[in-house]
């Protein structure tokens, strides 16, 4: 067969490339500035995202004798690190994870033979005894990042923090394309088991993972309502799955809860055997969410047994008038000013509990 040779030559059009490049840069800059201004007008401001990398940074700061805060978002919002340092003599390391079960992190500290410090552990019974699902996954995610972090992830964390401290629209929980698409009013199928959406961005976070409620959320208005009424869906247990007999499902749940009681007691004993101090804290909760929690997980159930099984001292906010009078603006967390005052009043009770 005859052979043939094909020669291709790409013709570069004679256009003003420098002008096009300049126009592209200017349009990108204008669009970025417009989006930044729009986000700030909506109430957003520069603050860090609470990423697994940021948590891993703090976990790496834990020393053998550190004071460590473990738990859910209430311990994250309601404790002021400055006041704890004044009252306890050491600056705490904030390891509470919003939307999480505290137990995996509690167990990780128990497994760390070098740790013999102090643990302040928040207890929200429905979350602390969650056998699976997002609460466990959220804790496991940060632990996995701490134990298996790569050099690339460390570098990305370093760069991301410096950008997030300057730019308002870098909010991974609220302003990414994925999160914005989730807000489209598309109804779920009738038989779909879809988790309710998490509340929107309503806090600032610094490099020590100190969370402060955003001022607009502490005031009556659309943001507060959006957060407030989101909690009820999140804290309402889903119905038993249809593919498992209800009695079997409930029996399995009971076994999982019993195992958690056993594991927590074993880990608490392991920690205390090497000199560690532990105190469980039930933080304030208000409004309809308090009614829901009191009904679903009454104090005489999980809380009472947890203290009995572990021998760990506990502080329940309703036992003390100076702690019981706080109102959570969105039912679940304290405002920034109240978190300082609450911590001041909590410190004497912490000192007493840790002295036992």
Instruction: Sketch out the chain's domains with CATH numbers.
Output: 52-181+201-354 (3.40.50)
Determine the pLDDT at residue 2. 54
At 315-345, the pLDDT tens digits run 999 999 999 999 999 999 999 999 999 999 9
Residue 169 above 80 pLDDT? yes
In sequence order, which residues have a C-beta less than 8 Å from that of residue 200 and are 6 or more positions away? 173, 174, 223, 226, 227
At 263-319, the pLDDT tens digits run 999 999 999 999 999 999 999 999 999 999 998 889 988 999 999 999 999 999 999
At 113-158, the pLDDT tens digits run 999 999 999 999 989 998 888 899 999 999 999 999 999 999 998 9
- Tally of CA atoms within 13 A in the half-sphere of 291 that contains its CB: 3
- The pTM assigned to this predicted structure is 0.84
* Mean pLDDT over each residue of the chain, to the nearest integer: 88
At 46-69, the pLDDT tens digits run 888 889 999 999 999 999 999 999
Task: Name the band, by pLDDT with cuts 50, 70 and 90, for residue 253.
Answer: confident
């Amino acid at each position: 067969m005859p052979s043939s040779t094909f020669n291709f030559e790409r013709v570069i059009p004679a256009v003003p490339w420098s002008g096009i490049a300049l126009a592209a840069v200017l349009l990108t800059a204008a669009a970025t500035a417009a989006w930044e201004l729009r986000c700030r007008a909506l109430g957003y401001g520069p603050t860090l995202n609470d990423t697994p990398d940021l948590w891993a940074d703090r976990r790496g700061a834990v020393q053998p004798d550190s004071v460590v805060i473990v738990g859910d978002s209430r311990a994250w919002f309601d404790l002021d690190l400055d006041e704890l340092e004044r009252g306890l003599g050491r600056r705490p390391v904030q390891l509470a994870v919003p939307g999480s079960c505290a137990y995996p992190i509690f167990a990780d500290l128990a497994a760390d033979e070098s740790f013999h410090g102090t643990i302040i552990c928040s207890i929200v019974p429905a979350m602390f005894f969650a056998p699976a699902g997002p609460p466990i996954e959220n804790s496991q995610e940060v632990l996995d990042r701490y134990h298996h972090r790569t050099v690339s992830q460390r570098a990305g964390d370093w760069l991301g923090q410096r950008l997030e401290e300057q730019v308002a629209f870098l909010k991974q929980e609220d302003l990414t394309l994925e999160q914005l698409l989730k807000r489209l009013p598309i109804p779920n199928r009738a038989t779909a088991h879809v988790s309710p959406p998490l509340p929107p961005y309503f806090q600032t976070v610094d490099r020590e993972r100190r969370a402060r409620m955003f001022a607009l959320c502490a005031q009556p208005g659309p943001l507060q309502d959006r957060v407030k009424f989101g909690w009820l869906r999140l804290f309402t247990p889903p119905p038993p799955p249809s593919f498992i007999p209800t009695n079997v499902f409930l029996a399995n749940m009971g076994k999982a809860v019993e195992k958690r009681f056993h594991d927590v007691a074993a880990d608490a004993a392991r920690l205390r055997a090497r000199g560690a101090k532990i105190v469980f804290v039930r933080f304030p909760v208000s409004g309809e969410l308090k009614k829901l929690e009191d009904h679903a997980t009454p104090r005489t159930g999980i809380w009472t047994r947890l203290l009995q099984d572990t021998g760990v001292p506990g502080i329940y906010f309703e036992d003390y008038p100076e702690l019981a009078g706080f109102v959570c603006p969105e039912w679940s967390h304290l405002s920034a000013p109240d978190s300082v005052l609450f911590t001041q009043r909590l410190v004497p009770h912490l000192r007493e509990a840790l002295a036992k």
